[in-house]
Structure 1
Amino acid sequence: MNNDSVQSMVLGDVEVIRITEWRAAFAPARTLVPESTAGIWQNNEDWLAPDHWDPDTDSAVAALQTYVLRSAGRTVVVDPGVGNGRERPKSPHFHHWQGDFLGLLARAGIGPQDVDVVVNTHLHGDHVGWNTMDGNGEWVPTFPHAQYLVPAADDFHFGPANAYGNGLSVEDRLIYEDSIAPVHRTGQAVLWDGGHRIDEHLTLESAPGHTPGSSVLRLASGADRAVFVGDLLHSPVQILRPSCNSCFCLDAGQAAAGRRRVLERAAAERELVVPAHFGGAGAVQVRREGEGFALGEWAAFGAGPAAPVGRVRTD
């Protein structure tokens, strides 16, 4: 595995910085992607291991990471992690998490006061935590000058008007109260629906299913294209089998349809696919293959050329 915690690449006129807090075995492979088969993991072991799958334990490997985009003179933080000191009783990986997110940002030359926009692709706890920080016993916005772009459908679903996700998980209330409500109180939250243009290079689009307001961020600058897909993908096997949802998808039909739609456009327009949680290179090109998709080349974060993924078997 590549253990570099701060890496970057340039797409057109946009610098993309990858901040990785953690990368390790996360869950049994077919617990994370319940509809996947043992065969699709085993038959692709030559490239899934070790960055995406640990065959010895049959565990999917995942990463906790944030992307920072320097675009059109502004700094945009996409999905700012878990946050420190959170009550997450149903998420053992992240309960009372203590990481060095702000230190990693500093290594990239970014301070909290430098951030202009924060994007939450959706409102799960590992995508919103550093929206806020502990300010003398109360949660306050981490980025004092930033506009926080929050999908309106998720804000409703996980917020008090809908009894914090209909009261199905105590964590939905905890996440909203410590990571979303504080940016509402300071007037920094901007709710959007359908689509939202950030600048000349960056556009948000709704892609519901994983959550009601799940979204993707598209980058178009010069000849370069990328799509930051959040949690539409948790593992590369979902590119090979787009009908396979993660165990975290709230609407299976919508999530699968949205995943296929995003992958079709990525293949047609040669967009680099940048998921939130892939280990290894972290981002990949896709291409159409028959009625489905195959992996192309991995992205070249840091130094060196993109490396071919090799032949991918889909059965």
Structure 2
Amino acid sequence: MSAVPSDQRPHPPLGTYLSLAGFSPTALSIALGARLRSLRTAAGVSAKEAAAEIGCSEAKISRLERGQSPPLAGDVSCLMRRYGAIAELETACELARRANEPGWWEEFGQVVPPWFDKFLGLQEAAELIRTYEVQLVPGLLQTEEYAYAVTVSGVPLAGPEEVRARVGLRKRRQELLHRSFSPKLWAVVDWAVLHRPLGSEGLMRRQLAHLIEMSSSPNIKLQVLPPDCLAIGTPVTLLRFGLPDLPDVVYLEHPTGANYIDKPEDTAQYRSMLDHLSMAALSPAQTLDELKKTVRGIR
């Protein structure tokens, strides 16, 4: 993976984003916003002047450039003309239109809170997903029955229909690991995750067997943090996209929402933390042995 910071790599043509398989509306909004910001800066246009061009507030320009506000094709057309980027105007407008298309997760809208919607879109477009879990098997690697047990335990007031929807959403998310252009998943889980009882012993045996099977996939790297290592108490997910218009994003979930961190100086610290955890963890081969040993120990 390139050691060159994303903001120092050359920007690919905007048309590149139209041809990328699996690129989500969320990622397109961020990529287009980042390009508009770089074009505005290069043209010497202030945020105030850009706002006046399309009759909005500077705050909206900021949200647009950070991918936090849906880009309207009309606004994008005006801004691209103001920045002198006529050659890519039509492409930018097409990106804006695609960025406003609904993601597949819209069908699960009743169980997708606004703060989680962005994560689903980013995960779809990621080239690399690095995650550390201290309590549970990572969602992308959970069996259906394990996910059901997690949902029933974690959302005790949920009715049967909501539970089915939440489990269905998790199963649908897992499909990205099996597509031809799947991202790489690098997961480190705490040792306690393998030994924490959840449901019946049979459920845990089948979940661990699933981890053994999934760890053989070429796009999945699984490591277990041994019990003699100090575990960090907060789950962390870092998403990398491989294109300079999309910076690394760190996702930190908490009971009532989530934080998204994308400043390079901040994401670098989390990347360093994940590097430290992976070096302290068992190797993938040792992890496989530990999984098999644990399965044999479940009667």
TM class by smaller structure = 0.3 to 0.5
Q: Name the one with the larger helix percent.
A: 2
Structure showing the higher strand proportion among its residues: 1
Q: Which has the larger radius of gyration?
A: 2
Using CA pairs under 8 Å that are at least 6 residues apart, name the structure with larger relative contact order, 1 or 2. Answer: 2
